Structure 1
């Protein structure tokens, strides 16, 4: 997957994670993308490597849901610790 695809995928995953997390998140677009890409990477590893439910090359609903869940957790940690910054 190219870098542009990863950025778009990270934005989608990060945006869905932000919608699912209660309250208002004070992070910008770049942090949303970064947390989404990181969540997608971790979720993809978990889905393919540990659970064996996804494919490396194709879209898979299970790996997408795991990526979103991972991004929600990362977003919650980033908000609580202040890593993502304020404002």
Structure 2
């Protein structure tokens, strides 16, 4: 085998190896893109759900109330003197 043939053979082996590596990386990239798209959908649904929940929790609530977890409800609304 001549030097040129040996170099050609090494070149072909490296090309095959790099092609395999490229294929694996492209598959991995596609998988990660799909996972990212799924996560973005979940975040959008979570945001929408949180906004809806916040709205439902504030319905009928006095605007000046500032209650949260383990905090007393403070409201200036007096149903006795309400017109």
Same fold (TM over 0.5): no
Larger relative contact order (CA 8 Å, sep ≥ 6): 1
The alignment's TM-score, normalised by the length of structure 1, stands at 0.27
